[in-house]
Amino acid sequence: MKAAVLNATADLSVQDMPDPVSGPGEVVIAVTLAGVCGSDYSLYNGKFGVPLPVVPGHEGMGVVEDVGPGVSNVSVGQRVVIQPNFACWDCDLCRSGLDNICHEKVRLGIDINGVFARYVKVPSRYAWPVPEGIDDRTAALAEPLAVAAHALKILSPGEGDRVLIIGAGVIGLLTLLLARLHKARVTVSDLLAEHLALAAKMGAHRTFLVGGGEELEPSSFDLIYETSGAPSGLATAIGLAAPGARIALLGLPGEAHPVLTTQIVRKELTIKGSMIYTDEFPGVLELLKSGRIDPTPLISGVIGLEELDSAIRNFHAPNRIKVLVSLPGEG
């Protein structure tokens, strides 16, 4: 099969590889669409420190090509989306429903070969059938949508809550769509006017350009989702949080930034981390099927596998939101 292989840091090429073979409890999926994500950019630039070569990519949907012995939840020919973090299901964390932070977690496209390939092999419990009525492009956004859905499960907005979403990237914009379903009043902030224009189109009540000369009013938000991963994100959120407010952290800053904890105490803030997802995939697929949200305006381009290298290199181009890779051979 053709696969995009990261042979060394910043060295990605499309190569021929053996097709994966499904073992017991595993399925091989013919990938139709695969999303390019910030963690692919980090992996490409050597931030994960994992052994290479590896086929990157973890956001994928496709069609079941082959099922191994003992697989009963999906069958050959079925459309599926992939939940790309495989927990051990045997540790205390997994047993208490925290499989998202399992220490033995295997990450598709980081620890093992991922979806930027014609075929990918996954444990069958991590292949979720796509209901009729969801098109391929919409289904390809299920994984990042599950990330946003987990944050809204951890800290849920009430009707009329003043919500701030810091960062109008993919996760921020999907968080916006979900917060609007809760009838929250949503402000979205970002450094890029292009991202904010999309946030306005996707239902933000207000957008705020960071560095545009104005400031948001201190202590004026009931619930803040930090999705930017900027090192200063938490300090910003603490300043903007109203007394009694809640802050969800989704971003993963790569460096430390000082935080004055006084305001956390004085305003009695709740701060929670939100790491990927646990059991969100079925609900996310039901939501997409219902048509109550449309995440497809996030898709800023669909490319071929040969263009993946330049897409990752140009990951931070201003007009880019979510780029999907369309695999050769799909209809």
Provide the binding-site residues for Zn ion, judged by CB under 5 A: 37, 87-88, 91, 94, 102, 104
Antiparallel, parallel or unpaired: β 2-8 and 241-249: unpaired
Distance of closest approach, residue 326 Cβ to Zn ion, in angstroms: 17
Q: Closer to Zn ion at the Cβ: 88 or 321?
A: 88
Distance of closest approach, residue 103 Cβ to Zn ion, in angstroms: 7
Distance of closest approach, residue 170 Cβ to Zn ion, in angstroms: 8
Q: Which residues contact 47 (CB under 8 A, 6 or more apart)?
A: 254
Q: Which residues pair with 26 in a beta bridge?
A: 123
Distance of closest approach, residue 234 Cβ to Zn ion, in angstroms: 21
Distance of closest approach, residue 321 Cβ to Zn ion, in angstroms: 13
Q: Closer to Zn ion at the Cβ: 107 or 267?
A: 107
Q: Closer to Zn ion at the Cβ: 11 or 90?
A: 90
- In three-state secondary structure terms, 53 is coil
Q: Using omega within 30 degrees of 0 as the cis cutoff, is the peptide bond preceding 53 cis?
A: yes
Please tell me the distance from the alpha carbon of residue 119 to that of residue 303, in angstroms, as a whole number.
Answer: 17
Q: Closer to Zn ion at the Cβ: 87 or 192?
A: 87
The pair of structure tokens assigned to 256 is 């430390």
Q: Closer to Zn ion at the Cβ: 88 or 264?
A: 88
Distance of closest approach, residue 86 Cβ to Zn ion, in angstroms: 10
User: What would the DSSP string read from start to end of 249-270?
Assistant: E----SS-----THHHHHTT-E
DSSP 20: P
Distance of closest approach, residue 105 Cβ to Zn ion, in angstroms: 7
Helix (H) or strand (E) holding 63: strand 59-67
Antiparallel, parallel or unpaired: β 127-129 and 79-82: antiparallel
Q: Closer to Zn ion at the Cβ: 102 or 198?
A: 102
The pair of structure tokens assigned to 96 is 């208490």
Task: Give the dihedral of Cα atoms 31, 37, 41, 46; nearest 10 deg.
Answer: -70
Q: How many residues does the chain have?
A: 331
Distance of closest approach, residue 69 Cβ to Zn ion, in angstroms: 24
Q: Closer to Zn ion at the Cβ: 34 or 204?
A: 34
For the chain, give me the number of helices (H) and strands (E)? 10, 17
Please tell me the distance from the alpha carbon of residue 102 to that of residue 105, in angstroms, as a whole number.
Answer: 5
The pair of structure tokens assigned to 272 is 């929670």
Q: Closer to Zn ion at the Cβ: 87 or 311?
A: 87
